[in-house]
Amino acid sequence: MSRRSGILEFAILGLLRESPMHGYELRKRLNTSLGVFRAFSYGTLYPCLKTLVANGWLIEEPGSTPEDALAASLTGRRAKIVYRLTADGKERFEELLSQTGPDAYEDETFAARFAFFGQTERDVRMRVLEGRRSRLEERLEKMRASFARTRERLDDYTLELQRHGMESVEREVRWLNELIESERAGRDRRSAPGSSAQQDTSGETGGLPRHGGSTRPDPSDDTTK
């Protein structure tokens, strides 16, 4: 399975964990909520859905809303198919959600993983955030070294493009630093003696950084690749 098809599987299971959906609804949510899927098609979605059904992670059901029934009667077509997560599908999603290897924080996957952080255990969130930060810091070091070697041979526009790329990575590193510190602060508050939250072992957020206006970079921004 390719990395892109793997993250599509993850995102579909995660969205259907919230509620059953038609294929059209799924595609809309993938496009609007998860930026990494802005340019994918039904030709990509439906084969993945069929595979998930074949694996026993989803089931197909006829649409049950009055609108579905009316549309089916007017057009003579069967009602829209609704996809529902099975118990095995939930278990599969939780398995994927717990993974913290390099695939969790690469450019192609991090945005989708982050979108489901509200359902992710705190320790897993920390490992993914720290892995992403480490990867970007390595990239930034290489970019700076390359810039220092080549800046005398490049024209002004190419230099500006390289600066823009470095600044984009630097912004994301700063954002990750804020998230990591907030996660740590939240964990420390919950583990303090006498804290009523000491019993909390759920995946709720540890206290996201608050800004008057969000300056969070888009993790799927092409300039960070």
In this predicted model, what pLDDT tens digit does every residue of 83-140 receive, in sequence order? 999 999 999 999 999 999 998 999 888 988 999 999 999 999 999 999 999 999 999 9
Reported as type and span, the H/E element at residue 59 is strand 58-62
In this predicted model, what pLDDT tens digit does every residue of 165-221 receive, in sequence order? 999 999 999 999 999 999 998 865 555 555 444 444 445 545 565 554 444 555 444
This prediction's pTM: 0.76
Reported as type and span, the H/E element at residue 84 is strand 81-85
| 3-state class (DSSP) for residue 46 | helix
Strands (E), 90-151: none
Please, how many CA atoms are within 13 Å of residue 82, restricted to the half-sphere of its CB?
Answer: 14
User: With contact defined as beta carbons under 8 Å apart, do 31 and 42 qualify?
Assistant: no
Q: Which residues pair with 22 in a beta bridge?
A: 82
